[in-house]
Structure 1
Amino acid sequence: MGPALYVTHLTPPVRAVLMTVKSIDLDVKLKQLNVEKNEHKSPEFLKLNPQHTVPTLVDDDGFVLWDSHAIMAYLVSKYAKDDSLYPRDIKRRALVNQRLHFENGVAFPEMLKILYPILYEGKKVITQDDKIAAEEIYSFLEAFLEGKLWMAGDSVTIADYSLITTISALNVLVKIDRFVYPNLITWVKNLEQLPVYEENRKWLDSYTNYVKLLLR
């Protein structure tokens, strides 16, 4: 039967999980939720996930899990052929976890602070405060990447998948300066060359067009 994944494709967390799913060549049944119609708040879905967030995973044994970071770690731990995306080595895994927490606690919330007024409050301009907030995120990531190609070491991990979906969305709002953040630009380009990046690209395009339309 295989796992089922409840999704809405415009969100970075969903795209990060889809990149992970593709990386480990896992057959997952996608169940699209229309959040504009409040399908994520239906009684049936609330029984699965009281927080009514996407993505939400229902494994083939009935195990239910939400939060993209938890889902990616779980899927790799259970289904991947090796541990490269989420290393078992305690120090390497700790570094991946730190980057995941940075995405979840710093980068993603800051991106939403800029985006939500555009989506829901009719905001039409990117302010100087928005630019300062985005630049701080970029500067942290530039430092994380000093001396390495990937966010958590010498190979790609779920930390890269989680961060690239958020950073590519943030880049639509505040462009990454290639002269100020060369490490970050190289990292983005490296990820764009991976086959799994298509899971981000095809939905990022829709998001980009939508945001540009709202900012007119």
Structure 2
Amino acid sequence: MTIDLYYVPGSAPCRAVLLTAKALNLNLNLKIVDLHHGEHLKPEFLKLNPQHTVPTLVDDGLSIWESRAIITYLVNKYAKGSSLYPEEPRARALVDQRLYFDIGTLYQRFGDYFYPQVFGGAPADKEKFAKIEDALQLLDKFLDGQKYVAGPNLTVADLSLIASVSSFEATDIDFKKYPNIKRWYETVKSTAPGYQEANEKGLDAFKALVSSMLKK
């Protein structure tokens, strides 16, 4: 059965799904969505996802969006019992907490600060920048004494967070001044299966987009 992924290569949430698929050795049928020309607003896409967002996954008639929901679904269906998303309640709760921290705090603050500058020409907001630094300090604290963000094993929380954190490379935010994050970043880059193809290629596309938008 074909698993379709509607995505944009530079998107951090999309890259998180690609990283998870690589870790699970799943082949996805990749379908690029041209947001610039409104493909996400066409009736056929709205039928799949009324929120018209990427990534959107379609698997055996199930259409699901929100990257953190997608990556946990993929493990639950195709690698049940995997340490990528542990079944033991305490271990899973910690992974879930890190995922919610990513979407609700770290990546949200990143978007609030950076995207208005890139896509709206807004000036940098010092208060929003301070909130990002607060989130990075929290992440650095989570990693204190930990190889990975939710314990000794690579999990989907690492794959989601590294897609977010790596996006900071396109900005003026220096996440590498946080020693635990810097160590973790290099660890995940070297241990996540297919990292270069699943994340770095898309990250390069994101950097190129940012550069072109800021020149306008």
With the length of structure 1 as denominator, give the TM-score of the two structures.
0.92
Change (3 A) 1:97 1:177: closer
Contact 2:168/2:175 (CA < 8 Å) preserved in 1?
Answer: no
Shift of 1:65: 0.9
| Corresponding residue of 1:79 | 78
Contact 1:176/1:185 (CA < 8 Å) preserved in 2?
Answer: no
Counting aligned pairs with the same residue, the percent is: 41
Asked whether 1:58 is paired with 2:58, we answer yes
Contact 2:24/2:79 (CA < 8 Å) preserved in 1?
Answer: yes
Tell me the SS of whatever aligns to 2:6.
strand
Count residues in correspondence: 213
Tell me the SS of whatever aligns to 2:30.
strand
The alignment's C-alpha RMSD in Å is: 1.7
Contact 2:7/2:31 (CA < 8 Å) preserved in 1?
Answer: yes
Moved more, 190-199 or 6-15: 190-199
Tell me the SS of whatever aligns to 1:35.
coil
Segments of structure 2 that go 5 or more residues without pairing to the other structure are none
| CA distance, structure 2, for counterparts of residue 44 and residue 212 of structure 1 | 32
**Aligned residue identity for 1:34:** D
Asked whether 1:119 is paired with 2:126, we answer no
**Aligned residue identity for 1:108:** Y
| CA distance, structure 1, for counterparts of residue 97 and residue 85 of structure 2 | 12
Pick from 158, 161, 176 the counterpart of residue 160 of structure 1: 158
Map 1:1-216 onto structure 2 (within 5 A).
1-59=1-59, 61-80=60-79, 82-123=81-122, 126-176=124-174, 178-179=176-177, 181-194=178-191, 195-198=193-196, 199-216=198-215
Shift of 1:178: 3.9
Contact 1:58/1:65 (CA < 8 Å) preserved in 2?
Answer: yes
Contact 1:138/1:176 (CA < 8 Å) preserved in 2?
Answer: no
With the length of structure 2 as denominator, give the TM-score of the two structures.
0.92
Q: Which runs of 4+ in 1 moved over 6 A?
A: none
Segments of structure 1 that go 5 or more residues without pairing to the other structure are none
| CA distance, structure 2, for counterparts of residue 122 and residue 29 of structure 1 | 35
Tell me the SS of whatever aligns to 1:36.
coil
Tell me the SS of whatever aligns to 1:37.
coil
Shift of 1:133: 2.4
